[in-house]
Structure 1
Amino acid sequence: MTMAAVIGSQTATAQAQSGERRIAHIDILHDMREAEPIWRRLETSQFSTPYQRFDFLSAWQRHVGTGNDLRPCIIVACDAERRPLLLLPLVAETENGVGVARFMGGKHTTFNMALWQRDFAAAATPADLDMLLRGIRQAPAKLDVLALTRQPRRWRDLQNPMALLPGQSSANGCPRITMAPGAPPAERISNSFRRRLKGKERKLQALPGYRYCVATTDAEIKRMSDAFFTIKPLRMAAQKLPNVFADPGVEDFLRAACLTPLPGGGRAIEIHALECDAEVIAIFAGVADGQRFSMMFNTYTMSENARYSPGLILMRDIVDHYAERGYTSLDLGIGSDDYKRLFCKEDEPIFDSYLPLTTRGRMAALGMSSMAHAKRIVKQTPALKRMAQALRGALRR
């Protein structure tokens, strides 16, 4: 079902006559199939992250969102001639009587963005964003607050227009490598670190059938997925961590996305692995778009081969794989684990926005913002972070 708001018709008419492209209509769609043609059209404008692909998020909604009673709430802004300017891929739910809309993908997306018509994004102004929020408020979708988290401040060569709205730094950073096209390998990974990894890899190279593999066939993807969902629960149990991959629908979502072919080639999630004839030794998987590879999940063997740092060796292979294909950046996902800092010397700036749409939403937005700010302080303060980790460990025992 479509719910539409028409905004400032006289202004929209004037803009159309002057050739400008400004928001004149807001549609809120609750059916993925209805949104798909617009969604795929905006995907071709290449101003969104690979986490916002229809193929990726439709798999998430089918296997995770629906099972958690998250309703698609897809906001489409069009100009006076009904040409789409942006699409916000959101889901809605009611929390303590408050209607909250968030980005699709939940904790499985590192970055969240609207899908933008590129020329409009490059020229967007605060007035455009105000018009967007006004249209959402006027639409009868019963939303009280937009909780828009983990948004990149820039993507590729443009500012994210949502950064024009009130926001705050996200609780966690995202370690990133920037790779200059044609630069020598030592500029992305130092020669000394490469030598250390090469020394460790000699032990693995003695294994029959040792190889680096990018899964391309359905059979390879299934085999590596089977290995991941066998090893990861054991690895997390050994680290006394909860198995988040056991949450309802998550395994089905990830398997489906890994198998889903993209229109331009590749898969919605790409899997890289080190393996030998006896076992899969390490697995890293993520999303790619021709310029950025973004890590989603990883694990490594429980066997004695774990002694030789297979995860670091695989990460080196992945960095080189994408650099040789002209990619300009690579990130290792949210969080500041020590291994990430061996490769990444900078962080992707990301931010959250908690935007009230109603009087009721003002208190909810304030509460969400305050909680996120407090979480960031804990994450950024080593003593508080250690206390929080100790408390979590005690609660799990």
Structure 2
Amino acid sequence: MPEAALSLAFEDGLTLSLFHNFHDLEDVWRSFESAALCTTFQNFDWLSNWFSHAGRHSNWTPCLVHGAASNGSTLFILPLGYYALGGLRILSWLGDSHSTYRMGLFDRQWIARQNPDKLHRLLRRVRSLLPPIDVVRLSDQPSSWEKTPNPFAAISALPTASYSHAIKLQDDFEALYASKRTASTIKKARKRERTFNRRYPLSFHTVSDTAELAPVMDELIRQKSVRLRDMGVHDFFADPGVRGFFKTLALNGLNGGSHQLRIYYMKAGDHIAATWMGLVHRGRICGLMNTMTDHPDIRRYSPGEVVLRYAISECCKDGLEVFDLAVGESRYKSEWCDQHLTLFETILPVTMKGHIYVHATRLGLRIKRLIKQSRKLWPLLQKTRCKCMATLKTLSLV
């Protein structure tokens, strides 16, 4: 093991070591992640690149906690960090909102030996290793992964406002498609696609080299930024380092890196009409984002639905097992998905001012969950927000 910033050994044989530098733990991390219980968003390449490009600019401080057994074998790695918010120090999983799923990396046999009391004791021990903090806030944690319960679900789990959605893939895309739609719906969709193709000759692509990547990535980012602003949602691509983070991951994937980032896209004539981007990990492709052109005539043919069908069909051909459409409520997700995964948050106060933050945050999360899971309130809020943004855009042009 490399030298840690701080290590603590306990009477039950557990040794906790704290690292602030990713590269000090790189060899151990890469070796452990190949068999550990974790998602693609806990891989070394994902988190180290995120911190180098985006996290550093947002004033995150990494607190990487390595847990070892008495024989030195790795039991877990907790990719934690803290940031300042309104005078508070908040401890959270690294990766921020760019990571769909956030959790630790765990030895599967170690998980089987845990219980709520042991996990609460572990969290107290971890806190004793860290600099002073006010709040522990661990967001976007899957309740289980690869049919194994997430051990942190035993620590004050608060359900999040949204679920994640996924499709169990088949080798035969046509059979899968037929199981999700009626024959008449499929017939109408294909007729609309033929009409689309007559007006704008369609072509379907998967990014395969660096020359192809640059223009597609630039247009993907532009389309996503426009859409987020139109929805009245924060444009994360405007944050320092975020563009570089995604571009670096895409380049690394093409150059044989550990992350298989795939970008599927459709062209309508010379226009990139729609894109879909995801990460492949252990037979599962996790969606990162999808985009669609702001060209009004092309949009009326629903290019996002067309490129999604292409992406799913390609993943079926490649023998992938699960197509993960990530978190959030959308009609197309309910039409396609047959798997749903609950997520939870762990929010714990450490100091008195942390208690105030936690009380307000828990109340806000309950209200958010109520709105998002309402069939009336959530669509109404989305519609109202888009109208407000359209009005503001019109006023800015006057």
The TM-score normalised by the length of structure 2 is 0.86
Q: Give 1:137 deviation, angstroms.
A: 2.5
Alpha-carbon displacement from aligned partner over 1:210-268 (angstroms, at most 9, x marks no partner):
33222121222222102212333344455565533222222121111221238976745
Say if 1:56 and 1:268, in contact at 8 Å, map to a contact too: no
Question: Which residue matches 2:218?
Answer: 226
Question: Which residue matches 1:335?
Answer: 328
Question: Which residue matches 1:100?
Answer: 90
Say if 1:91 and 1:101, in contact at 8 Å, map to a contact too: yes
One-letter identity of the residue aligned with 1:339? Y
Say if 1:354 and 1:366, in contact at 8 Å, map to a contact too: no
Question: Which residue matches 1:57?
Answer: 47
Alpha-carbon displacement from aligned partner over 1:148-174 (angstroms, at most 9, x marks no partner):
111111111211111122211101222
One-letter identity of the residue aligned with 2:160? S
Rounded Cα–Cα distance in structure 1 between residues aligned with 2:202 and 2:264: 14
Q: Give 1:113 deviation, angstroms.
A: 1.4
Please point out which of 77, 101, 105 is paired with 1:115: 105
One-letter identity of the residue aligned with 2:274? A
Change (3 A) 1:375 1:114: same
One-letter identity of the residue aligned with 1:342? E
Change (3 A) 1:324 1:190: farther
Q: Which runs of 5+ in 2 are unaligned?
A: 393-398
Classify the secondary structure of the residue corresponding to 1:65. Answer: helix
Question: Which residue matches 2:293?
Answer: 301
Rounded Cα–Cα distance in structure 2 between residues aligned with 1:70 and 1:140: 14
Question: Which residue matches 2:366?
Answer: 373
Please point out which of 149, 168, 181 is paired with 1:190: 181
Bigger mean CA offset, 336-345 vs 83-92? 336-345
Question: Which residue matches 2:9?
Answer: 6
Alpha-carbon displacement from aligned partner over 1:126-147 (angstroms, at most 9, x marks no partner):
3441332121132142133321
Say if 2:82 and 2:89, in contact at 8 Å, map to a contact too: yes
Question: Which residue matches 2:208?
Answer: 216
Change (3 A) 1:310 1:357: same
Classify the secondary structure of the residue corresponding to 1:333. Answer: strand
Classify the secondary structure of the residue corresponding to 1:48. Answer: coil
One-letter identity of the residue aligned with 2:181? S
Q: Give 1:181 deviation, angstroms.
A: 6.5
User: How do 1:160-199 residues align onto structure 2 when only pairs under 5 Å count?
Assistant: 160-179=150-169, 184-186=175-177, 189-190=180-181, 192=183, 193-199=185-191
Question: Which residue matches 2:309?
Answer: 316
One-letter identity of the residue aligned with 1:95? L
Change (3 A) 1:298 1:182: closer
Q: Give 1:385 deviation, angstroms.
A: 3.5
Q: Give 1:185 deviation, angstroms.
A: 2.2
Bigger mean CA offset, 356-365 vs 335-344? 356-365
Rounded Cα–Cα distance in structure 2 between residues aligned with 1:381 and 1:67: 36
Rounded Cα–Cα distance in structure 2 between residues aligned with 1:196 and 1:77: 56
Alpha-carbon displacement from aligned partner over 1:335-382 (angstroms, at most 9, x marks no partner):
102232232255321111113445654444333323222221222234
> Is 1:138 matched with 2:128?
yes
CA RMSD of aligned residues (A): 2.8
> Is 1:355 matched with 2:348?
yes
One-letter identity of the residue aligned with 1:284? W
One-letter identity of the residue aligned with 2:18? I
Q: Which runs of 5+ in 1 are unaligned?
A: 13-23
Alpha-carbon displacement from aligned partner over 1:50-80 (angstroms, at most 9, x marks no partner):
1111111222111111111111111221112
Classify the secondary structure of the residue corresponding to 1:269. Answer: strand
One-letter identity of the residue aligned with 1:199? K
Q: Identity across aligned pairs (percent)?
A: 25
One-letter identity of the residue aligned with 1:228? L
Question: Which residue matches 1:270?
Answer: 262
Change (3 A) 1:341 1:124: same
One-letter identity of the residue aligned with 1:109? S
Rounded Cα–Cα distance in structure 1 between residues aligned with 2:132 and 2:55: 19
Question: Which residue matches 2:80?
Answer: 90
Bigger mean CA offset, 286-295 vs 339-348? 339-348
Q: How many residues are aligned here?
A: 384
Change (3 A) 1:140 1:112: closer
Alpha-carbon displacement from aligned partner over 1:255-304 (angstroms, at most 9, x marks no partner):
11221238976745321111255122210112121322121112122333
Say if 1:43 and 1:115, in contact at 8 Å, map to a contact too: yes
Bigger mean CA offset, 362-371 vs 246-255? 362-371
Question: Which residue matches 2:395?
Answer: none
Please point out which of 237, 245, 252 is paired with 2:244: 252
